[in-house]
A and B are shown apart, each in its own frame.
Chain A
Amino acid sequence: EPEVTQTPSHQVTQMGQEVILRCVPISNHLYFYWYRQILGQKVEFLVSFYNNEISEKSEIFDDQFSVERPDGSNFTLKIRSTKLEDSAMYFCASRSLPGLAGVEQYFGPGTRLTVT
Chain B
Amino acid sequence: AQSVSQHNHHVILSEAASLELGCNYSYGGTVNLFWYVQYPGQHLQLLLKYFSGDPLVKGIKGFEAEFIKSKFSFNLRKPSVQWSDTAEYFCAVNGGGATNKLIFGTGTLLAVQP
Contacts and interface: CB of A to CB of B under 8 A. Distances in A.
A108 B43 contact: yes
B100 A3 contact: no
A17 interface: no
Contacts, number: 62
Nearest to A46: B101
Contacts of A93: 44, 102
Nearest to B9: A40
Interface residues of A, number: 26
A66 to B, nearest CB: 17
A43 B45 contact: no
A91 B42 CA distance: 12
Contacts of B34: 104
Interface string B1-35: 00010000000000000000000000000001010
Interface in B63-114: 90, 92, 94, 97-107
B43 A107 contact: yes
Contacts of B36: 107
A95 B100 contact: yes
B105 A56 contact: no
B105 to A, nearest CB: 6
A83 B86 CA distance: 33
A31 B32 contact: no
Given A33-B101, A103-B94, A4 B51 contact: no
A56 B101 contact: yes
A62 B37 CA distance: 29
B46 interface: yes
A50 B97 CA distance: 13
A73 to B, nearest CB: 18
A3 B99 CA distance: 21
Give 5 nearest A-B pairs by CB, closest first: A107-B44, A43-B104, A48-B99, A56-B99, A109-B43
